[in-house]
Amino acid sequence: MTKSQRDDLARLGLIRNETSVNILLLRRKHGAYLRRALRLKDTQQLPGSYISLDSSKPWIIYWTLNGLDLLDDLPDEDTLIGIVHTLRACWTYVKREVVDIEDENRAGGFGGGVNQLPHCATTYASVNALSIIAGCDADIYPTATRLALHLLKEKRKALLKWFITLRYKDSMFSRERGNAKKSCGYRMHHDGEVDVRATYCICSTASLLGFTDEISDGMMEHIIDCQTFEGGFGGEPFAEAHGGYTFCALGALHILLKAKRLANLEQSGVDLVALEGWLVRRQMSHEGGFNGRCNKLVDGCYTMWVGGAIAILGLNGTDKQFDSGVYSNETDQCGVVRTRDDLIRRDIGHDSEGGLLFDQKLLQRYVFLCAQDVNGGLRDKPSKPRDFYHSCYNLSGLSVSQHIFTSGHNDTGNIVTMYEEEETNVLAPIHPVYSIRVERVRYMVGLFHVDVTH
């Protein structure tokens, strides 16, 4: 590398100085970019073209808030209070003629904007954003945490009733031979499509709010029917395997396994060998990033969708766990909580040294070198523009790849895996199932009195 090239990299902030070779995460620039969506003072406002995302307000809030939370750069309390008020305005009750419910004010969900149709995806995004705020330090954000928690408690029962109205019982029996129980999927909204996204969004929301048992009948059978001959999961039975749908399927299955007190994914009927093989083949050897389907290009968002899916396999199938603590039942001498279950397989999701079944450092290299926009924000790949969606999921997948237990039971440390030995590159640990910080999940689980294995 020439001196002028080093000077350019240093000027852009990608290296510390002209003598350094370590690539840096542009934390401040990414934070500044994400804050644009929150209408903060002294920040550049969004261009008019963003009007096309008017029905995605909760998503924009979640993408930016989660990214800022991982960067340890949450905005001030007034901004968080404004977010809670905005999400409250997105809440809609379903009308009596739409569903057979005696009291129309007892069923509803979050829509994409004011007076818009309740939708599973925007409900998931809203609950995740509110969980982030509710789980913040109450000493620093006393009013915001109180308002977020109040909104979640206020709408909890109405959400459950609305979710039940979205059930779609499949006429086909489950693939599992000898099981006469019908599978049951969920619609994304009334009269909407039935796919694994809805199942995951409902499972995640229900798990955080503590009513998974009420919505779980037939869910697992429907998800198993969506696994393809390739090994991954499609959005519905007989569809092509896709990284995003596979993440949704595994996230939902993990929650359902805990709700049904099953030991591991093998007991659910998943073909783990085919699934594991399909997932590890998503990492491209040259770029280091993941693609989402066979014969497709690398995309930065699959850093989370595929990387997170492999991490979820680790939650279900090894003693060298993702640094979660939410589902664990034993604490080592350093106070780190770990899961130990002699009944589960030890080899799924991790390699022999305890790392995940993909090259974690190579994936991080892709994020640092290819996904970062030098002006802030992250993207799909070079030549593509930055956006809030890819910023969130590049950062989320980066966190997954960093915070892995790489030591065995006899060791004591939680070692952070880093492509470059730069502490400023390390993000807060994210939970791969819920896609928010681990401590936010732990707070919600404890708050709604859910069993630690749920």
Question: Which residues are marked as active site?
Answer: 242, 293, 296, 299, 301-302, 380, 387, 390
What is the rounded CA–CA span in Å between residue 302 and residue 393? 8
What is the rounded CA–CA span in Å between residue 334 and residue 353? 21
Amino acid present at 437: R
Q: Indicate the pairing of strand 436-437 with strand 430-431.
A: antiparallel
Contact 448, 207 (CB under 8 A): no
Residue of 190, 436, 217, 403 whose CA lies nearest to 314: 403
- 3-state class (DSSP) for residue 182: strand
Residue 137: φ, ψ to 5°: -65, 115
Helix 388-402 vs helix 27-35: crossing angle, to nearest 10 = 140
CB atoms within 10 A of CB 451: 11
Total count of residues recorded for the chain: 454
Residue of 196, 135, 216, 159 whose CA lies nearest to 439: 135
What is the rounded CA–CA span in Å between residue 337 and residue 153? 28
The first and second tokens of residue 72, run together, are 């340890």
Q: What DSSP element (H or E) covers 125?
A: helix 120-134
Residue of 302, 318, 418 whose CA lies nearest to 25: 418
The first and second tokens of residue 48, run together, are 């008019």
Contact 280, 357 (CB under 8 A): yes
Q: What DSSP element (H or E) covers 436?
A: strand 436-437
What is the rounded CA–CA span in Å between residue 313 and residue 433? 10
Please return the burial class of 352, using the count of CB atoms within 10 Å of its CB with bins 0-12, 13-18 and 19+: exposed
